[in-house]
């Protein structure tokens, strides 16, 4: 199965507020509350793609209770480590009239070393049946930046393919642990390689740079496209996949859905290029629904048929 790991799980609340203006009182036209955090969003999307998935991570306090209750209500198999500090909440405010999204995140809980060790023990147990272990999202307080890297090294020795989707120092250190796949968005990739991207050539250079840092495969996501570098036997293949822009309702979690679509396709033995096509179709389908990780698989299949794939040639030295 696929195991997703969310250290900074949350209760996510998404509010729809047309014509939002700062400093004014508003009434939300719609609201949605669910378990959240990037790894949970990936698990939710994998569930919609009928992929076998179990969500794990850290959950604490009454907020942690609600996270687990929400996962159970969605029939998402989960096995979280209970911690003493309170899990966070997060709020996304969507203004459909202006096409604007505002997000507010709490810092998250402080985590003790013994709680982290319990999580690592659980990962050892779950990895016995895991094809992929997906580490997603930020690290809570008091967790060292190299946590993901050390966990990836440990699980890789056990024959597990590890996936990393985070940012900042945890991403930089984690890439050096040689994960099977990293999936930064453009901003995160720019920070990792130390330059901004404006042309396809910049993305190609970034793909190769991140691969040279240690990642076996790389996805760099944009709003309507995705660049990918994939190792097939002893060759490297590079692709750009794009799709006509879909008018969004809310883009929260689109990158998580893209990653889930890619992993689901690979889990089912589909080649990298087909997996990239499915991933982009799933991400596009998710932006027209409220709430992270939610999409209609039939709409994703329809949109995937409109994805344009181009194999890119390496840049000559």
The DSSP annotation for 87-119 comes to PEEEEEEEETTTTEEEEEE----B--HHHHHHH
Q: How many CA atoms lie within 13 A of 97 on its CB side?
A: 7
Name the 3-class secondary structure at 306: coil
Instruction: Report how far residue 161's alpha carbon sits from residue 130's, in angstroms, rounded to the nearest whole number.
Output: 8
What integer is the mean pLDDT of 284-305? 91
Q: Across residues 184-197, what is the average pLDDT?
A: 95
- The pLDDT score that the predictor gives to residue 233 is 79
- Position 65 scores a pLDDT of 97
At residue 225, the 3 state secondary structure works out as: strand
pLDDT of residue 302: 96
User: For residues 218 and 210, is the Cβ–Cβ distance under 8 A?
Assistant: yes
- At 252 the pLDDT is 75
Helix (H) or strand (E) holding 189: helix 186-193
Q: At 305, is the secondary structure helix, strand, or coil?
A: coil
Contact 144, 234 (CB under 8 A): no
Q: Is the pLDDT of residue 317 over 60?
A: no
Strand partners, 34: 12
Residue 316, pLDDT > 80, answer no
pLDDT score of 253: 81
Strand pairing report for 100-105 and 308-312: unpaired
- The answer to whether residues 289 and 303 touch, using CB atoms and an 8 Å cutoff, is no
The DSSP secondary-structure symbol of 246 reads: P
Which stretches does DSSP call E strand in the chain?
2-6, 10-16, 30-36, 53-60, 81-83, 88-95, 100-105, 132-136, 161-165, 181-182, 217-221, 225-232, 235-242, 308-312
End-to-end CA distance of the chain: 41
Does the global pTM surpass 0.85? Answer: yes
Predicted pLDDT of residue 250: 67
| CA–CA distance, 201 with 312 (Å, rounded to integer) | 10
Is residue 103 very low, low, confident or very high in pLDDT (cuts 50, 70, 90)?
Answer: confident
Q: Which domains are delineated in the chain?
A: 2-19+28-312 (3.40.1190.20)
pLDDT tens digits, one per residue of 252-282 = 789 999 999 999 999 999 999 999 999 999 9
What gap in Å lies between CA 272 and CA 278, rounded to an integer? 10
CA distance 58 to 217: 27
Residue 35 has pLDDT above 90, yes or no: yes
* Per-residue model confidence as pLDDT tens digits over 210-252: 999 999 999 999 888 999 999 987 889 999 999 998 877 767 7
Whole-angstrom distance, CA of residue 272 vs CA of residue 234: 14
**33 Rama class: left (phi>0) / alpha (psi -120 to 50) / beta:** beta
147-157 and 113-126 helices, crossing angle to 10°: 30
| pLDDT reading at 39 higher than 60 | yes
Residue tagged 């013994």 (tokens): 114
**What pLDDT digit, counting tens, does each position of 122-154 carry?**
999 999 999 999 999 999 988 999 999 999 999
């Amino acid at each position: 199965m696929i195991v997703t790991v969310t250290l900074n799980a949350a209760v996510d609340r998404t509010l729809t507020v047309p014509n939002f203006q700062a400093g004014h009182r508003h009434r939300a036209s719609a609201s949605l509350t669910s378990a959240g955090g990037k790894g949970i969003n990936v698990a939710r999307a994998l569930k919609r793609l009928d992929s076998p998935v179990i969500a794990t991570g850290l959950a604490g306090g009454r907020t942690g209770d609600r996270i687990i209750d929400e996962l159970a209500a969605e029939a998402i198999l989960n096995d979280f480590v209970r911690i003493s500090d309170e899990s966070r909440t997060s709020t996304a405010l969507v203004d459909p009239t202006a096409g604007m999204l505002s997000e507010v995140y709490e810092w998250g809980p402080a985590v003790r070393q013994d709680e982290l060790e319990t999580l690592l023990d659980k990962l050892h147990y779950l990895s016995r049946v895991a094809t992929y272990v997906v580490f997603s999202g930020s690290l809570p307080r008091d967790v060292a930046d190299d946590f993901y890297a050390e966990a990836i090294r440990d699980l890789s020795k056990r024959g597990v393919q590890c996936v990393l989707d985070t940012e900042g120092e945890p991403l930089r250190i984690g890439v050096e642990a040689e994960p099977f796949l990293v999936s930064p968005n453009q901003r995160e990739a720019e920070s990792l390689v130390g330059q901004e991207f404006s042309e396809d050539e910049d993305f190609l250079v970034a793909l190769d740079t991140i691969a040279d840092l240690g990642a076996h495969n790389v996805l760099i996501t944009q709003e309507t496209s995705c660049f990918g570098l994939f190792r097939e036997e002893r060759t490297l293949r590079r692709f750009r996949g794009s799709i006509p822009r879909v008018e969004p309702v809310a883009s929260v979690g689109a990158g998580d859905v893209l990653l889930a679509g890619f992993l689901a396709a690979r889990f089912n033995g589909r080649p990298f290029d087909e997996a990239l096509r499915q991933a982009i179709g799933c991400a596009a389908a998710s932006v027209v629904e409220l709430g992270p990780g939610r999409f209609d698989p039939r709409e994703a299949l329809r949109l995937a048929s409109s994805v344009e794939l181009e194999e890119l040639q390496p840049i000559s030295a």
